[in-house]
Amino acid sequence: MPRPIVATSLSAKLLLLTILFVLLAEVLIYAPSIARFRMSYLEERLAAAHIAALSVEAAPDLMVTKELQAKLLAYTGTHVIDLIQPGARVYMLSRPMPPQADAVYDLRGTGMGMQFVDAGNALWLALEGALASGIGPQRNRVIRVIDRSPNDPAQRVEVTMDERPLIDAMLDFSRRILAVSVAISLIAAILVYVTLHALLVRPMRRLTAGVVAFRRDPDGAPPLVPGTRADEIGVAERELAAMQGTVRAALRQRERLATLGTAVAKINHDLRGILSTASLLSERLTESADPEVRRVTPRLVASLDRAVELCSQTLSFTRDGVLPLSPAPTDLHRLVEEVGAEVLATARPDGGRVEADWVNDIPAGTLAQVDAAQLGRALVNLGRNAVQAGADRVRLSIQAGQADRLTLTVADNGPGLAPRARENLFQPFAGSARAGGVGLGLAIARELLRAHGGELRLVESDAAGTAFALDIPQCNADTGAVAVAAHKSFVSH
């Protein structure tokens, strides 16, 4: 069995899907993570600012030197620090000329949703700035952050700071998250790949190889030995092994039946010749002077004719399919007349000729695109079944069907089909429509109709008679003009 391309194999698809799903999970985790990182960063700055502002209490006259103030602001990464205590006392540290804030963020009562929005806006503005500035210096926003002190919730801290260090820290965190996500994805993908390859892919390849080998050589392919797994793969292995055994047995039986059929066909061919000779010789018994011989001779001849007919039908059925068709515009009225002449020449079981009315209600000039010889063969089988079953009137009519089809109806006034015949209708050697028949006539007729792309079906059957419908293709208008020239006279099988 040719191995699938690596890029389109089941293993590659499993590996790719695992990586994608893990990355998707990491993306869903990233949003709350980056929002929480931003909040932690700002809380650290506020805590450091609180501590720096408390240095004012230790300074003489609550005034710190400019040098210490600059160091404290540089240590906290801020431009201005305001510490508001419960008694409305304010401790303030500020640069000489602090910049104006571009945005104000009050973190008191900020929910998770707003934290997502603030973090996303910060990264988006940074991305826009990077795209706008190219490789040049990026614009730095100044933000004012307000929140309760992480060290003492009773005190409020307000700081004015540059946003660029926060953005850099967020980008660095994002790169670390990305690296961890890729590593986790690869590790998880490899683990899932190895596990699924052992549990699913290898057993599926084994099953597929067994199916392909069995399709190529059902007899020569080694039998599939199912495992002991109790899951769906184990069930599939056991069912496939059982199916292979059943198919092999059916193929061996079919081969034996085919060999037997070939032998029966050869025997029937020779037997038909012997019976034909016997039938010809038996006709001379009618010239015998013995009255008893002359009385039983017609029955003997009729029995021999039925034996010859059985051999002929068996030979026709054992052919590989029906005869090749040569559809042509055919006058159905004329064809039915020819068929009627042959049906009415059929011998009764007692050796006498049938006496029946053959009613042809098909209008003259009705054309169908059929093989006249093969359709006539099917009509003869239906007509003979009717008259030999006891019908004394057979009526044939035509009506328009669907999609350029014609429906030809063959109805008789016979006793109707027996229940067993209805149950096994169209089944060879099982669905005979008359006593003493073998059921090949209807089976052959149905095959001939299906070869035309039509169908033979039973319309009704009761004590008042039996009716069959034959769906046949209608003749095209372009070919109707040459119907008479193209008509093929019916040839008896």
Q: Are 408 and 396 in contact (CB under 8 A)?
A: yes
pLDDT of residue 83 exceeding 60, the answer is yes
Scanning the structure block, which residue is given the tokens 């993908």? Answer: 189
Q: What's the pLDDT tens digit per position in 451-480?
A: 888 899 999 988 889 999 999 988 765 444
Read off the pLDDT band of 409 (50, 70, 90). very high
Query: Residue 484: pLDDT above 50?
Result: no
Burial of 444 (0-12, 13-18, 19+ CB in 10 A): buried
Give the separation between CA 116 and CA 82, rounded to whole angstroms: 26
pLDDT of res. 110 = 80
Q: Is residue 314 predicted with pLDDT exceeding 80? A: no
**379 confidence band (pLDDT: 50, 70, 90):** very high
Q: Map tokens 């149950």 to a residue.
A: 423
Q: Which residue has the higher pLDDT, 262 or 217?
A: 217
* CA 142/CA 163 separation, integer angstroms: 6
Question: What average pLDDT is seen over the chain?
Answer: 79
Q: Mind listing the pLDDT tens digit for each residue in 186-215?
A: 887 788 778 877 888 788 888 888 888 888
Contact 384, 332 (CB under 8 A): no
Q: Which two tokens stand for residue 383?
A: 């007509």
Question: Given this model, what pLDDT does residue 20 score?
Answer: 82
pLDDT for 479? 43
Sign of torsion, CA 132 134 139 140?
A: positive
Please tell me the predicted confidence (pLDDT) of residue 130: 64
Domain boundaries, the chain: 6-188, 240-320, 325-486
Residue 358 pLDDT > 90, yes or no? yes
For domain 325-486, the CATH architecture is 2-Layer Sandwich (3.30)
Bridge partners, residue 400, by sequence: 406
Mean per-residue pLDDT for 94-121?
86
Which of 130-139, 235-244, 332-341 shows the lowest mean pLDDT across its residues?
130-139
Give pLDDT, residue 413: 92
Number of H helices, E strands in the chain: 13, 12
Residue 224 has pLDDT above 90, yes or no: no
Rounded to whole angstroms, the Cα distance separating 457 from 170 reads 80
For residue 111, name the pLDDT band (cuts at 50, 70, 90): confident
Q: What is the dihedral of CA 121, 125, 128, 130, to 10 degrees?
A: -130
pLDDT of residue 385: 85
Same topology between domain 240-320 and domain 325-486 = no
Give the pLDDT confidence score for residue 395 in this predicted structure.
95
Q: What pLDDT is recorded for position 202? A: 82
Please give the single-letter amino acid code of residue 247.
V
Q: Is the CATH number 1.10.287 carried by domain 240-320?
A: yes
3-state secondary structure of 45: helix
Confidence class of residue 397 from pLDDT cuts 50, 70 and 90? very high
Look at residue 361 in the predicted model and tell me its pLDDT: 94
Q: Cα–chain-centroid distance for residue 230?
A: 27
H or E element in which residue 58 lies: helix 10-58
Task: For residues 314-321, give the mean pLDDT.
Answer: 57
pLDDT at 332: 94
Poorest-pLDDT segment among 24-38, 273-287, 298-312: 298-312
Separation of alpha carbons 430 and 421, rounded Å: 8
pLDDT at 134 over 60: no
Question: Quick check: 328 and 369 in contact, CB under 8 A?
Answer: yes
How large is the average pLDDT for residues 268-282? 71
Q: Please state the rounded mean pLDDT for residues 419-440.
A: 63
Query: What pLDDT is attached to residue 10?
Result: 67
Which of 22-31, 129-138, 433-442, 451-460 holds the top average pLDDT? 451-460
For residue 49, give the amino acid letter: A
How is residue 455 written in tokens?
Answer: 């169908």
Whether the per-residue pLDDT at 422 is higher than 70: the answer is: yes
Given this model, what pLDDT does residue 398 score?
93
Partners of residue 408 on adjacent β-strands: 398, 470
Confidence of residue 269 (pLDDT cuts 50, 70, 90): low
Q: Which residue has the higher pLDDT, 134 or 126?
A: 126
